[in-house]
Amino acid sequence: METERRRRRKDCRGSGAEGWSSGAKSSKRVKSEQKRDGESEEGLIPLNSWAQLLMERGSDPHSGGSEGQAQAVWVWRCDTVRLLLTPEQEELLWRVGDAVAKLINMENYRRRRLFFDGKGIDKSWKSAWKRRETDYVEIYRLLGSMNFHEVTRAVSEQWRSFAELLKARKKGKLGPWQIVHPPGYRKRGGERLPIIYVRFDNYKVDLQKKMLRLGYWNVELRFKGKPRWLVKPGAEQGRLTITYDPVKKRWYAKIAVKVTLQIERNPKSTLKAGVDLGREILAAAAVEDGTAFLYRGGPLKADYYYFERKISAVDRTHSDPKSEEMDRAILREERRRLYDKMRRRREQAFANLAAHLARTLKALNVSIVFIGYPRGIAHDAPGKGNSNSWSYWKLITRMSVTLENYGIALFTVPENGTSKTCARHGCEVVRMPRGLVKCPRGHVMHADVNAALNILARGARLLKCEAEAPDRLRVFSFTPTPSGIVEAKKRIRKTITLHSRRGNRWRARYAPSLYL
């Protein structure tokens, strides 16, 4: 569970999208981690700060005191802006960025050798710092002591998280899909990929003039884009990371920002919701008050197959013995571009889904969400039928951050068996075509909504609070796409039409009144 938190942080850092999750430094946090270790035996894992806060306060959110009181947590977020550089500035960034990549590679080489020789894991930043006047003296001069220090810290963070993953694997807490590697080299296609770390106190952001001032190198870089978090009152800047995107051929600056999130709510009137993730239905959410949402995975899946076809066409040309080496380089570039585009489109659709869900749940006064952690699907092997392209973990991470922004707590709950029993009667259900399930007591409901209700009930039980089972359900259907959320045009009919022909496609509609 600790690993999952780590993993999430690593995930966030890798994508740089929404930034890092809340740091864990205070002694209070440590205490709660011990407690959470105990809790995780039962399977309830807090995924964001509001969930952690809830667990620290005691299991019953209704008795947690503070009625109508404001609550606050601080979290790390990340603002990404695009840099607009003069040729001289770009030259400087290449030079510095390459030196940092070289330093990271040399350090990782040294630490990897120690590790593979069985001499343990070097997690310290001091071991790299000590070599500043000897092995790395040229790089040290180029970066300055503040930024050199920041690089050594970044390297040590990677190794620390590697050590934690190893520990978790020993305890058997990792899934089979989680592969643990020691930190590798910053390279792409045989060349070093530049990266620059700037310590929090060595740069300034001018939001009016849109200028980023780097202290040690004494340059002012123009940027484009609106920082979302830096403008919040009380925001504090953290590490600045400058990277080069070889696909877009652009430079980006990622500014870590520490912000305080606040909520004010009456804990007595808040609701809970359950979310189930799947393949046909990307996410199904059910709220205590009987509202349910379906987010269809169709367009995303179509996107995946479209790009897969294009990529395999590129691969075929690439492996053709007649193609020239020059062409091959172009093809490799094209392949990278396609993968990149596919990833971006998927992440954008996830972001839209998460934002839509968070907004809707907030409007319904939901404060706690339980999400079924999908085991067994899409984790085994990336491939056609069972495609990793869904990357549930990415979706869950995105949801936890977005819900956190809206003041909603998110927990994961093991979802095993939640699709097999009736949420209302607890008896075993029979699967029917078109994603429906039939209860032996004589009613039919949507399989994913049923699972979401079961997850809601299980989560509430684990959190030791009550969840109300709704008598009737109103189901709304949406389709997340990279450009936004498309709402189903027609309200769902009262009667069930299993197969209605519309255009060339067979579609199923689900009746709300079927949940009896």
CB of 441 to Zn ion, least distance (A): 4
Q: Which stretch binds Zn ion (CB under 5 A): 177-185, 288-296, 357-365, 432-440?
A: 432-440
**Between 141 and 425, CB nearer to Zn ion:** 425
Q: Which helix (H) or strand (E) holds 212?
A: strand 211-214
Question: Which is it for strands 474-481 and 291-296: parallel, antiparallel or unpaired?
Answer: parallel
* DSSP H stretches of helix in 323-410: 325-363, 392-405
- The encoded tokens of residue 95 equal 């030079």
CB 477 within 8 A of CB 486: no
CB 496 within 8 A of CB 368: no
Q: How far is CA 452 from CA 170, 323, 456, 501, in A?
A: 32, 52, 6, 28
CB of 438 to Zn ion, least distance (A): 9
Question: DSSP letter at 492?
Answer: P
CB of 473 to Zn ion, least distance (A): 13
Handedness of CA 143, 149, 150, 151 (dihedral sign): positive
Who's near 383: CB < 8 A, 6+ residues apart? none
Scan residues 111-130 and list those touching Zn ion (CB under 5 A): none
Helix 27-40 / helix 49-56 crossing angle, nearest 10 deg: 90
CB of 274 to Zn ion, least distance (A): 17
Strand partners, 11: none
CB of 514 to Zn ion, least distance (A): 11
- Binding status of residue 422 toward Zn ion by CB under 5 A: yes
Q: How far, rounded to the nearest angstrom, does the alpha carbon of residue 197 sit from its chain's CA centroid?
A: 22
**Residue window 160-199: x/- pattern of binding to Zn ion, with contact defined by CB under 5 A:** ----------------------------------------
Q: Which stretch binds Zn ion (CB under 5 A): 109-117, 131-139, 252-260, 417-425?
A: 417-425
**Between 324 and 471, CB nearer to Zn ion:** 471
Who's near 155: CB < 8 A, 6+ residues apart? 104, 107, 108, 111, 125, 128, 183
**Between 337 and 425, CB nearer to Zn ion:** 425
Phi/psi class of residue 230: alpha, beta or left (left: φ > 0; alpha: ψ in -120 to 50)? alpha
Scan residues 14-73 and list those touching Zn ion (CB under 5 A): none
Handedness of CA 172, 173, 175, 181 (dihedral sign): negative
CB of 454 to Zn ion, least distance (A): 11
**Residue number of the CB atom closest to Zn ion:** 439
CB of 445 to Zn ion, least distance (A): 8
**Between 310 and 443, CB nearer to Zn ion:** 443
Q: Which stretch binds Zn ion (CB under 5 A): 105-113, 191-199, 411-419, 431-439?
A: 431-439
**Between 240 and 449, CB nearer to Zn ion:** 449
**Between 242 and 445, CB nearer to Zn ion:** 445
DSSP 33-58: HHHHHHHHTTT-EE-SHHHHHHHHT-
If DSSP codes are grouped into helix, strand and coil, which group holds residue 428? strand
- The encoded tokens of residue 267 equal 């804990």
Q: Which stretch binds Zn ion (CB under 5 A): 91-99, 116-124, 291-299, 418-426?
A: 418-426
**Between 199 and 424, CB nearer to Zn ion:** 424
Tell which one of 271, 366, 439, 456 touches Zn ion (CB under 5 A): 439
CB 455 within 8 A of CB 415: yes
**Between 338 and 456, CB nearer to Zn ion:** 456
CB of 418 to Zn ion, least distance (A): 14
- CA gap 438, 477 in Å, rounded: 20
Query: How many beta carbons lie within 10 A of that of residue 132, not counting itself?
Result: 18
CB of 431 to Zn ion, least distance (A): 14
CB of 422 to Zn ion, least distance (A): 3
**Between 425 and 507, CB nearer to Zn ion:** 425
DSSP 455-468: HHHHHHHHTT---P
Q: Which stretch binds Zn ion (CB under 5 A): 282-290, 372-380, 390-398, 433-441?
A: 433-441
Q: Which stretch binds Zn ion (CB under 5 A): 62-70, 285-293, 329-337, 425-433?
A: 425-433
Tell which one of 425, 472, 491, 493 touches Zn ion (CB under 5 A): 425
Q: Which stretch binds Zn ion (CB under 5 A): 239-247, 290-298, 384-392, 434-442?
A: 434-442
Tell which one of 10, 13, 149, 424 touches Zn ion (CB under 5 A): 424
- The encoded tokens of residue 277 equal 């993730």
Tell which one of 209, 359, 441, 507 touches Zn ion (CB under 5 A): 441
Which residues make up the interface to Zn ion (CB under 5 A)? 422, 424-425, 439, 441
